[in-house]
Structure 1
Amino acid sequence: MSLILRIPYNVAVRSFSSTLVRDTKQWRVSQGLPANRNAEGILTDGPDYTFLDGRPTPLLHKQKLRMLKQREYAAQIVEMCAELDFAKERHQNLLKAEAEEKQKYIESRLKPKGNMLSRNSKK
């Protein structure tokens, strides 16, 4: 007796892939694509609809979040650049002050007196 399995025509058969999600993400990154294919693109960034009279469409929730995150990043960048400029300027001022102090010390050393002084002034 042989057993015959029959699959009804209305049952969907799913095939599966043995490729790991990690490998797929690595491949996407190696190709210069974002790791998550839904992270950006025309379908994600574009509006869901447009008005026929040309009015701008309101931003979606995730678009607003992305915009706020980008503003936050920009504010952090500006703040860090200002801190970096301040640190560079302070370092230059410290070097200049150190050089002035060294020059002041050299100028305040003892001067030769007597015949040595009169010889230098006659020349």
Structure 2
Amino acid sequence: MAATVRLLCGSVFRNSSRQFSTTCGVQAGEKWRKEHGLARSGTEYGPLTDLPDWSFADGRPAPPLKGQLRRKQEREVLAKRIVMLNSEMDRGIEMWKGRVEEAERMEEHKKSLLLKPKGKRLLKKTPQN
């Protein structure tokens, strides 16, 4: 029975002029949301996603949901990574500045070791541009 269904479906698809696509469709409004600085979809971030759905009648907030806790943890990990990368960049910039200063000191030191003018050349004024 399964073989006949498979043969039937296979022959229908082979003879059909219509193509079968497995790609996902374009999400409605994604382009508009991106142009206005919003998330790609309404469920990525924002008040509908981040705020609790309900609260107790006496005003106490509801306990956070699993998704809210997961998103909070992901944001904390991302923030820690940003701080770490920022500190690495600062250290790298400081090291680069130190190397540049050391190269300048070495250049000045090399210039100071060059021969100095003596006698009449020392008294002679050098033309200034």
TM-score of the pair, normalised by structure 2: 0.62
Separation in structure 2 between the aligned mates of residue 95 and residue 76 of structure 1, nearest angstrom:
28
User: Which residue, out of 22, 30, 34, partners 2:26?
Assistant: 22
Change (3 A) 1:94 1:31: closer
User: Which residue, out of 88, 97, 108, partners 2:93?
Assistant: 88
Change (3 A) 1:33 1:106: closer
Larger Rg: 1
The residue identity in structure 1 corresponding to 2:83 is: V
**Deviation (angstroms), 1:90:** 1.1
TM-score of the pair, normalised by structure 1: 0.64
Change (3 A) 1:111 1:77: same
The residue identity in structure 1 corresponding to 2:26 is: R
Q: Is the 8 A contact 2:33 2:39 kept in 1?
A: yes
Change (3 A) 1:31 1:82: closer
Deviating above 6 A after TM superposition, structure 1's stretches of 4 or more consecutive aligned residues are none
User: Which residue, out of 101, 107, 114, partners 1:102?
Assistant: 107
User: Which residue, out of 43, 55, 80, partners 1:38?
Assistant: 43
Change (3 A) 1:111 1:69: same
Q: How many pairs does the alignment contain?
A: 99
In structure 2, the residue corresponding to 1:57 is in which secondary structure? coil
Q: Is the 8 A contact 2:34 2:40 kept in 1?
A: yes
**Quick one: percent identity of the two aligned structures?**
29
Separation in structure 2 between the aligned mates of residue 27 and residue 54 of structure 1, nearest angstrom:
37
User: Which deviates more, 83-92 or 25-34?
Assistant: 25-34
**Deviation (angstroms), 1:91:** 1.1
Change (3 A) 1:33 1:48: same
Partner of 2:82: 77
